Structure 1
């Protein structure tokens, strides 16, 4: 099984501010803007890698209630990409409030569940920001609990140097 990672922007400056404004202020018009920026690249990744299942990282129930929507699902809906939902079984502390990777691991451990079979499928996990990779690692574990995927791909709008220096 191979794991391929794609991201479009480094998580800093204008991109960081844009994503924070979108997520924290629930500004759907920014989601529409982001969807137009990433649409072509995302569809190409799905097509070229013969993706069977797209899975957005689920936001916490608290954040979805606050904002009124899941920010990644909103973007996928705007682009017209079908996806299967993973379940976030408990709310956690916001990851951006935890600076140490070991605290992030404890915070997110065994949080996700997938109610669909991933066995022998090409899976694409989608998130808006990847900081340390801890959330993605837990999503992979949840997928693997349903059967061994053929390949797992990760797509993020943005990633931090902490993440891409480790994984790329």
Structure 2
């Protein structure tokens, strides 16, 4: 499986201040003709440990084959997290990707001022943007991120609202930082989007 780019087809990624965005599969809320959407949902909840490990291995292999290089890796915080929790289901996935690609994992780079609503419950993009506005702050200034490649990892992305706010916060402190996104799955409403991946 290969990393697929998002920014050429979906303008919100460039608008978010990202250099590039990547994903492996699509999350199709209704009518996926493959098993990928169900697998992503189980992955997100870590409901099937064997499949979690398989997806993690596939992701790491895709990154190694891509020959992309990053200096640092951070992750999107869950809506209930104000600080990155060690118990977060995605933590191992992010840490292992960082290790495999030789990047430093910075779990405490960003924190949130408050818990937020789960964005998929908000009806409009404007509602999502209002919910995330100014919610992040820099917690750890130990590293100079200017002219460094920072990979932000998420499980599923739809509107890129959370990542856009993370990038805005990072670039306010380090204007020359280069931010990239990897999400396991990009939300798509085409039933056959996962065919022939």
Gapped regions of structure 1 (runs ≥ 5): 163-168
Query: Is 1:54–2:70 an aligned residue pair?
Result: no
Asked if the contact 2:129–2:161 (Cα under 8 Å) also holds between the matched residues in 1, the reply is yes
**CA, structure 1 residues 2+75, in 2 after alignment: closer, same or farther (shift >3 Å)?**
closer
Normalization by structure 2: what TM-score? 0.68
Give SS of 1:10's match. strand
Equivalent residue number for residue 75 of structure 1: 93
Query: Is 1:99–2:118 an aligned residue pair?
Result: no
Give SS of 1:16's match. helix
Asked if the contact 1:53–1:83 (Cα under 8 Å) also holds between the matched residues in 2, the reply is yes
Gapped regions of structure 2 (runs ≥ 5): 1-16, 190-197
Equivalent residue number for residue 114 of structure 2: 90
Q: Deviations over 1:45-73 (max 9, x none)?
A: 5x43x3111111122328x87xx732332
Aligned pairs for 1:21-36 within 5 A: 21-24=42-45, 26-27=46-47, 29=49, 30-36=51-57
Normalization by structure 1: what TM-score? 0.78
Bigger helix fraction: 1
Equivalent residue number for residue 16 of structure 1: 37
Question: Shift of residue 159 of structure 1?
Answer: 0.6
Question: Shift of residue 92 of structure 1?
Answer: 0.6
CA distance in 2, matches of 1:151, 1:54: 12
Question: Shift of residue 3 of structure 1?
Answer: 0.9
Cα root mean square deviation, aligned: 2.6
Structure 1 residue runs of 4 or more that deviate by more than 6 Å after TM superposition: none
Equivalent residue number for residue 151 of structure 2: 124
Q: Deviations over 1:111-157 (max 9, x none)?
A: 22232332221111111111011111011012112212342211111
Give SS of 2:90's match. helix
Q: How many pairs align?
A: 156
Give SS of 1:61's match. coil
